[in-house]
């Protein structure tokens, strides 16, 4: 992957506005589903490490929440702080942008990335959907002016297009040094955390436009008994109306959420899973700093 035979290792932040394809990119690089994805902005709420070791190169990817302008609630402030912190201590930054759409939130990320001292790679996502690549040129030229030292790579996170080039550029820019993690480890997150995230993903995908953002998932039990993994998950909402939406008519929706989450969990944990879901109303959790900390929203 690189000229040197010495081990290389370092942290790589994947940044960008909400819903630009950061988690999809991480999953494709790792070759398995780790970060949850949906079409809703703000699906990712925590920094999560995805670790890829190939030969002498270990790249530790940090999937960050999208930076966004809404700073009203404690949850939004937490997500912005988390994303900004990731830029401080990394060896390489991948700034993911859309092929032909630029928003105020992209601008917000650009303003943070311009201060980054180390190498920046500009990943132009969804380029497979462009009929005429020439349409990209003015946008590219403008981006190069903003980030003159950045390396530009057109990619498709969804299709996995050109990710080998992206990974090669990352590997060449990582510092030489011993690996931080065992070669078979793929994340720093616990199995309980990953289980909670999978349930949250299914809720986000099921509810679409009806989705209240004030939803979080807490794992109350995670226990392997023989060949079966027993998982009890509590879905917290802020209002009774939200509880009704998640349960659905005759419990149909929560049943579907459970079935889909269980399928993914069985693949991820390589075990038969018994999953029980409950919904509970806990008013105001998303704007209560103490409640956020108790639910695992800690500054890392």
Binding site, annotated residues for GTP: 16-23, 63-67, 125-128
User: Which residues fall in the annotated binding site?
Assistant: 16-23, 63-67, 125-128
Which residues are paired to 53 by β-bridges?
A: 58
Contact 222, 189 (CB under 8 A): no
Q: Is 83 helix (H, G, I), strand (E, B) or coil?
A: helix
d(CA 159, CA 93): 21
Contact 138, 150 (CB under 8 A): no
Report CA-CA distances (Å) from 190 to 134, 195, 260, 268.
45, 9, 20, 12
Nearest Cα neighbor of 38 from 187, 278, 156, 207 is 207
Q: Treating both helix axes as pointing N-terminal to C-terminal, what angle do 240-247 and 252-269 enclose, rounded to 10 degrees?
A: 70
Q: How far apart are the first and last CA of the chain?
A: 31
d(CA 26, CA 12): 11
d(CA 296, CA 274): 24
């Amino acid at each position: 992957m690189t000229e040197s035979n010495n081990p290389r290792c370092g942290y790589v932040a994947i940044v960008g506005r909400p819903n630009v394809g950061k988690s999809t990119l991480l999953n494709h690089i790792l070759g398995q589903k780790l970060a949850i994805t949906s079409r809703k902005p703000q699906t990712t709420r925590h920094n999560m490490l995805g670790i890829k070791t190939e030969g002498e190169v270990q790249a530790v990817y940090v999937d960050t929440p999208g930076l966004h302008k809404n700073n009203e609630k404690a949850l939004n402030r937490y997500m912005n702080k988390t994303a900004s912190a990731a830029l401080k201590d990394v060896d390489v930054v991948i700034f993911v942008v859309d092929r032909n759409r630029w928003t105020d939130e992209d601008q917000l990320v650009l303003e943070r990335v311009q201060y980054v001292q180390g190498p920046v790679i500009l990943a132009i996502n969804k380029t497979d959907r462009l009929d005429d690549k020439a349409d990209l040129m003015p946008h590219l030229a403008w981006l190069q002016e903003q980030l003159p030292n950045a390396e530009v790579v057109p990619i498709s996170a969804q299709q996995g297009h050109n990710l080998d080039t992206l990974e090669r550029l990352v590997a060449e820019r990582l510092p030489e040094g011993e690996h931080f993690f065992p070669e078979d480890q793929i994340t720093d997150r616990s199995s309980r955390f990953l289980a909670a995230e999978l349930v949250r993903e299914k809720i986000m995908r099921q509810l679409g436009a009806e989705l209240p953002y004030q939803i979080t998932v807490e794992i109350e039990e995670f226990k392997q008994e023989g060949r079966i993994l027993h998982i009890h998950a509590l879905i917290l909402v802020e209002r009774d109306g939200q509880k009704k939406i998640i349960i659905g008519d005759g419990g149909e929706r929560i049943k579907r959420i459970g079935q889909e989450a269980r399928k993914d969990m069985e693949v991820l944990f390589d075990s038969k899973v018994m999953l029980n879901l409950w919904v509970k109303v806990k008013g105001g959790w998303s704007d209560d700093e103490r409640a956020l900390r108790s639910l695992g929203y800690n500054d890392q």
